Structure 1
């Protein structure tokens, strides 16, 4: 474009309506409910969009319909694969409902989550997906005042005032402990992520405390990262054989623990068995392959999408949804040595 020449104004919704010789409301129906528009009219509107090089936006869709057709998701982080898998299935399933997804991260901080939630609602989020059941009062006030549909994921509790879509975190931890106990392990180190703002982690810890009176459990908190898992068990003298197994309440932490044990020359699983929780895609490819509890996070994303989509479309609160977990036995666990049982 020559310097100084005025740029051509971008077309808008009304320009499309004028070019197609229809009302703005008709253009809006073509965008939001094309099945309600006669085929000849719909084609005329689509041809006008093409000739004007007009791409519909959320704002344009909201005109007359009063809807933005997007859902906000608030997740602790995008660093870990587990959240990426949830968001991937959530987005693909929402698309089937003709809904879009906008994501915000919270750093697992309820105050940050409340601010991010307000931002999403301010730009038109019709509903929210959140992780867990630990949230700030400002968040609760916000969604109550605005009557915002919200579905809590990664947990299941019918007593919670929001619908939950997820799994039994306490049961998943017990399944891991039961597996180690079945192999004869009694003295077990439990390594878990931060629990202050994470009810899922607290549920897993609570699920195994006093679950088996014969088990001697010791607990260490670790940053939720591979490096955190390494640092947390660094310096432990495993040659004392105080613990014969390490139960990690996250595969990310378990990966770090496994790496650090190998760095120290501790053999897994002949000296120390290691089990995780999550079943991340990479866990099956570690050396040795990690025994873990498979959490159905992809199916959870699909179910959460259906739940929130149904809620925003019909204004009917969805039912809680409990998804099954599975113990995946691989090469990182083995029977305890006789002198360590």
Structure 2
């Protein structure tokens, strides 16, 4: 006959709530009691399921994670950090790929609600007012990772995109470049694209360089092929360009590919700097100079912050900005 939580409590001579606490929050149970309960579970060959773990505290020890595009290399390292933090706090992650589709996102949220998740990590996308209304109906803690909301008081973890982009552009300027273009994200993206554009333009203004968005900036998607296409468009309207800031590594690698196929050498003819520091940045030829985001740390801190909310503990600062880093490799040369 299969053992249950009552059998464990009886054998360990503790209450059912103590057994549940050992499974949910072992760090809050005296070590002698914890060992006694764990030995009873082992002797009875008892494997707790999600319902048993949530019997007392009405928690499933499950967290939902919404990813807009699982094929994007950006998310793997961030998910790595989330997973390690979740393991530390004894949570399971339920990953949902929304494919940048609002209908799929709403379906995912409904599914996660049915799963009775304890909290949600929402990544990268802006939080629009209609999203926020859906979030409120979930009635669970939510943390934003690699995005934030200045309109709504939702805890978040990300880099300072404006300053990071300023540093990227200034790196090119300090290498002697004066004719600098930018491959940017969508003009409708106020979370990352617009702050990165503002940082780029601020660097040009600080150093008294030309700032003509129409000729110097090409907007588009975030994938490799978008960067490839944008580089061609940028060259056509800004032919004497000597350096490019691409606001993601995928865009940067797409730009390098276009330049190589059209007889331009990187960095001898045109220097390229990216943003993210994905693993592929050091695998490309030439190896990509880029602004590094601590993606693992962003994921880890997002789950840490979410756990504080679930435990009704003080979350600290509402919007956490983590430090970025300029990673200099081989794709930027002195002019």
TM-score of the pair, normalised by structure 1 = 0.83
From 242, 245, 259, the equivalent of 1:244 is: 242
In structure 1, C-alpha distance between the alignment counterparts of 2:315 and 2:9, rounded to whole Å: 40
Cα deviation, residue 25, structure 1: 4.8
For the 8 Å contact 2:19–2:37, the answer to whether it is kept is: no
Map of 1:181-220 to 2, 5 A cutoff?
181-197=173-189, 199-209=191-201, 211-213=203-205, 214-216=209-211, 217=213, 218-220=216-218
Cα deviation, residue 311, structure 1: 1.2
Aligned residue for 1:4?
none
Cα deviation, residue 184, structure 1: 2.6
From 69, 72, 90, the equivalent of 1:98 is: 90
Cα deviation, residue 27, structure 1: 4.7
In structure 2, C-alpha distance between the alignment counterparts of 1:314 and 1:288, rounded to whole Å: 49
For the 8 Å contact 1:153–1:164, the answer to whether it is kept is: yes
From 78, 86, 111, the equivalent of 1:119 is: 111
Aligned residue for 1:139?
131
Q: Deviations 1:174-198 (Å, cap 9, x if unpaired)?
A: 1111111222322222112334356
From 158, 168, 171, the equivalent of 1:176 is: 168
In structure 2, C-alpha distance between the alignment counterparts of 1:152 and 1:73, rounded to whole Å: 10
Cα deviation, residue 237, structure 1: 5.8
Cα deviation, residue 309, structure 1: 1.0
Cα deviation, residue 208, structure 1: 2.3
Cα deviation, residue 259, structure 1: 1.4
Is 1:13 aligned to residue 4 of structure 2? yes
Is 1:47 aligned to residue 46 of structure 2? no
For the 8 Å contact 1:222–1:253, the answer to whether it is kept is: no
In structure 2, C-alpha distance between the alignment counterparts of 1:95 and 1:250, rounded to whole Å: 30
For the 8 Å contact 2:120–2:140, the answer to whether it is kept is: yes
Bigger mean CA deviation after superposition, 232-241 or 187-196: 232-241
For the 8 Å contact 1:58–1:69, the answer to whether it is kept is: yes
In structure 1, C-alpha distance between the alignment counterparts of 2:179 and 2:3, rounded to whole Å: 69
Tell me the number of residue pairs that the alignment of Structure 1 and Structure 2 aligns.
Answer: 323
In structure 2, C-alpha distance between the alignment counterparts of 1:198 and 1:68, rounded to whole Å: 35
Aligned residue for 2:224?
226
SS of residue matched to 2:192 = helix
Seen in structure 2, the aligned counterparts of structure 1 residues 21 and 228 have a Cα distance that, compared at 3 Å, is same
Aligned residue for 2:254?
256
In structure 2, C-alpha distance between the alignment counterparts of 1:292 and 1:114, rounded to whole Å: 35
Which protein is bigger by CA-based radius of gyration? 1
Bigger mean CA deviation after superposition, 73-82 or 104-113: 104-113
Q: Deviations 1:68-88 (Å, cap 9, x if unpaired)?
A: 112111121221222110011
In structure 2, C-alpha distance between the alignment counterparts of 1:99 and 1:243, rounded to whole Å: 50
Bigger mean CA deviation after superposition, 128-137 or 79-88: 128-137
Q: CA RMSD in A?
A: 3.0
Bigger mean CA deviation after superposition, 113-122 or 259-268: 113-122
Seen in structure 2, the aligned counterparts of structure 1 residues 135 and 223 have a Cα distance that, compared at 3 Å, is same
Aligned residue for 1:5?
none
TM-score of the pair, normalised by structure 2 = 0.84
- Is there any run of 5+ residues in structure 1 with no aligned partner, and where? 1-9, 337-341
In structure 2, C-alpha distance between the alignment counterparts of 1:301 and 1:332, rounded to whole Å: 28
SS of residue matched to 1:80 = coil
